[in-house]
């Protein structure tokens, strides 16, 4: 017979169920004994950017993971489809981050199956806060995870972006945002290039330029690797759902940018407004 | 001191089985049948909120008749079991067989140990890469499992519908043909007089192997109207 926990009526949350029944499967609940900084012991993922446009929102991430000064992986994926209408990107301790994404994906699907309907976008963003809060102990020891969440809000009919801190704090970003080691460079790049109501194509170009700028100045962010054909992962969230860009599509965008950078290595020149 | 009457175990089992059968026979029927691209579920169910058909996992669907609170309990347990398996191992390691086994054990224990058996009948359907790998597991109130070929009918008119399906169902039917057949049989045998069921009185879903990852999809609104036209 199925254990009583399975037959109990109650929470539609998979994470709560897991915490009751098999807490050992929640990596976030593990606590290291030693009070040491573990930040150089495990791979870290780096830069993620997201921006809104008239179509919805996009999220893009570079492909590098680092461990101290070593590149531990060139083709790691840090941007994932969370469910049919949202995307999650992660920076920080890669192993824990990927596990958090997996848990979040199951959490959303589980709710949808049990309740027969999807969570609202705010509901999803709040659940991510709760999951992240469980990781606070490890974050304090250097294994922090900083996610970013973007999706298309079917009720409000627009794209939305949420950023988080390591304590699970949740903040809505209205135009664009970047996290990770190259996040500052990427955010400054977007600050100059962002326009309101961009199309998906324009937003993709701005995101790729921002990641290029991040890779230009941050050693932990990987630029497009033409020799190996490794390009950033880009997810477009619009009314139709989530679409991850195919390699062919990406190649076209990246080639355009790399050729333009050969002429102007610092990227496109932002026009200066006439001062009054 | 009064002694309780002795009741033979055979009689206890028979009474419980009769009780469960009566409860199930009162409800409207559900048909689950294989078609060219997967498995089709059709239920006569005017409610938009209280489902008789639902998704368990990527390739696994669930259909039930009988008492709502009892099969809903089992459905939720199935979703939890599948998600737990998939999370602790891998998505590919969740099988319809293991879900059906868990249901069988649970129903069997409830039938023998509880004073009141569950008044439910359940189908767990799983699709494979092609139709030869599709599986339909039928579970009854006492925990028996049967591995059915091609189609299953449950509920009040199960026997008449099953014999009609035996004559009219064919392997490799199109979605449209399979749906029309199921709806016609539900209308023909569901009530005293034959009637035509309107789309609003139906709950329809498929496990469609052409869909990526999550193959379960509900069919309603315009798509259902078009398929039944």
For the segment B91-132, what is each residue's pLDDT rounded down to a tens digit?
999 999 999 999 999 999 999 999 999 999 999 999 999 999
The predicted model gives B144-156 an average pLDDT of 94
Inform me whether the pLDDT recorded for A21 exceeds 90. Answer: no
Contact A239, A157 (CB under 8 A): yes
Is the pLDDT confidence value at A23 over 90?
Answer: no
Q: Is residue A28 predicted with pLDDT exceeding 60? A: no
Indicate which residue of A46, A47, A66, A221 is catalytic.
A46
In the predicted model, is pLDDT for residue A120 greater than 90?
yes
A66 is catalytic: no
Binned at pLDDT 50, 70 and 90, residue A273 comes out as confident
First to last CA, chain B: 70
Share of residues in chain B with pLDDT > 90 (%): 84
Q: From chain A, pick out residues whose CB is under 8 angstroms from the CB of B79.
A: 110, 113-114
* Residue A105: pLDDT over 60: yes
pLDDT at B1: 62
Which helix (H) or strand (E) segment holds residue A110: the answer is: helix A94-115
Q: Between chain A and chain B, how many beta carbons pairs sit less than 8 Å apart?
A: 53
The whole-angstrom separation of Cα B11 and Cα B203 is: 38
pLDDT band, very low/low/confident/very high, at A26 (cuts 50, 70, 90): confident
CA closest to B89 among chain A residues: A25
- Interchain pair A21, B84: CB under 8 A: yes
Q: What is the pLDDT of residue A276?
A: 52
Q: Do B106 and A2 touch (CB under 8 A)?
A: yes
Which helix or strand (DSSP H or E) is residue A229 part of?
A: none
Contact state of A6 with B81 under an 8 Å Cβ cutoff? yes
Query: What does the alpha-carbon distance between residue A117 and residue A112 come to, in Å, rounded to a whole number?
Result: 5
Right CATH number for A42-263 from 3.40.50.720, 3.30.30.10, 3.60.20.10, 3.30.565.10?
3.60.20.10
Window 40-69 of B: residues touching A by CB (8 A cutoff) are: 49, 51, 54-56
Residue pair A203/A58 in contact by the 8 Å Cβ criterion? yes
Please state which of the ranges A62-66, B1-5, B99-103 shows the lowest mean pLDDT.
Answer: B1-5
Mean pLDDT of the A208-213 span:
97
Comparing A7-16, A113-122, B68-77, B157-166, the range with the smallest average pLDDT is: A7-16
Q: Tokens 């001191």, residue? A: B1
Q: How far is B5 from chain A (nearest CA, A)?
A: 30
Residue A223 Cα distances to A101, A124, A148, angstroms: 24, 31, 20
- Of A17, A102, A109, nearest to B80 by CB-CB distance is A17
Share of chain B above pLDDT 70, in %: 100
For residue A18, give the nearest of B213, B11, B87 by alpha carbon: B87
Around A44, how many Cα atoms within 13 Å sit in the side-chain half-sphere? 25
Q: How far is B85 from chain A (nearest CA, A)?
A: 11
- What is the H or E stretch that residue A72 is in? strand A70-73
Provide residues of A within 8 Å CB-CB of chain B. 1-2, 6-7, 9, 14, 17-18, 21-22, 25, 102-103, 106, 109-110, 113-114, 116
Q: Does the beta carbon of B183 lie under 8 angstroms from any beta carbon of chain A?
A: no
Which residue is listed with tokens 């009040």? B156
Of the candidates A138, A139, A194, the one whose C-alpha atom is nearest the C-alpha of residue A161 is A194
Distance, in angstroms, between B162 CA and closest chain A CA?
29
């Amino acid at each position: 017979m199925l254990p009583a926990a399975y037959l109990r009526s109650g929470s539609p949350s998979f994470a709560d169920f897991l915490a009751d029944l098999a807490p050992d499967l929640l990596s976030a609940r593990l606590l290291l004994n030693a009070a040491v900084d573990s930040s150089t012991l495990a791979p870290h993922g780096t830069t993620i950017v997201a921006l809104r446009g008239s179509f919805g929102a996009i999220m893009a991430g570079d492909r590098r993971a680092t461990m101290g000064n070593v590149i531990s992986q060139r083709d790691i994926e840090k941007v994932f489809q969370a469910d049919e209408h949202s995307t999650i990107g992660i920076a920080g301790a890669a192993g824990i981050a990927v596990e958090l994404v997996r848990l979040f994906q199951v959490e959303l699907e589980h709710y949808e199956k049990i309740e027969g309907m999807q969570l609202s976008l705010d509901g999803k963003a709040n659940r991510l806060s709760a999951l992240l809060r469980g990781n606070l102990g490890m974050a304090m020891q250097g294994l922090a995870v900083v996610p970013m969440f973007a999706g298309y809000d079917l009720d409000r009919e627009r794209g939305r972006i949420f950023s988080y801190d390591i304590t699970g704090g949740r903040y809505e970003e209205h135009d664009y945002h970047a996290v990770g080691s190259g996040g500052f460079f990427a955010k400054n790049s977007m600050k100059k290039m962002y326009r309101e109501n961009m199309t998906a194509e324009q937003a993709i170009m701005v995101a790729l330029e921002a990641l290029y700028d991040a890779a230009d100045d941050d050693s932990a962010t990987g630029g497009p690797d033409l020799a190996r054909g490794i390009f950033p992962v880009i997810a477009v969230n619009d009314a139709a759902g989530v679409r991850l860009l195919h390699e062919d599509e990406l190649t076209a965008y990246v080639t355009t940018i790399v050729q333009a950078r050969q002429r102007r290595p610092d990227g496109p020149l932002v026009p200066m407004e006439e001062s009054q | 001191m009064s002694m309780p009457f002795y009741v033979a175990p055979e009689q206890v089992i028979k009474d419980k089985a009769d009780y469960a059968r009566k409860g199930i026979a009162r409800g409207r029927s559900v048909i689950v049948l294989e078609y060219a691209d997967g498995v089709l579920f059709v239920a006569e169910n005017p409610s938009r909120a209280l489902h008789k058909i639902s998704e368990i996992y990527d390739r696994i669907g669930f259909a039930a008749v009988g008492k709502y609170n009892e099969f809903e309990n089992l459905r939720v347990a199935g979703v939890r079991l599948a998600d737990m398996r998939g999370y602790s191992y891998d998505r590919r390691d969740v099988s319809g067989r293991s879900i059906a086994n868990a249901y069988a054990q649970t129903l069997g224990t409830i039938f023998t140990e509880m004073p009141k058996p569950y008044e439910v009948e359940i189908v767990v359907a799983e699709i494979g890469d092609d139709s030869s790998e599709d599986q339909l597991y039928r579970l009854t109130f006492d925990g028996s499992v049967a591995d059915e070929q091609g189609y299953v009918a449950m509920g009040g008119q199960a026997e008449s519908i099953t014999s009609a399906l035996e004559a009219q169902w064919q392997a490799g039917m199109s979605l449209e043909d399979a749906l029309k057949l199921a709806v016609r049989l539900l209308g023909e045998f569901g009530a005293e007089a034959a009637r035509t069921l309107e789309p609003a009185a139906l709950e329809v879903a498929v496990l469609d192997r052409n869909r990526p990852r999550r193959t379960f999809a509900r069919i309603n609104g315009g798509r259902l109207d078009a398929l039944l036209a």
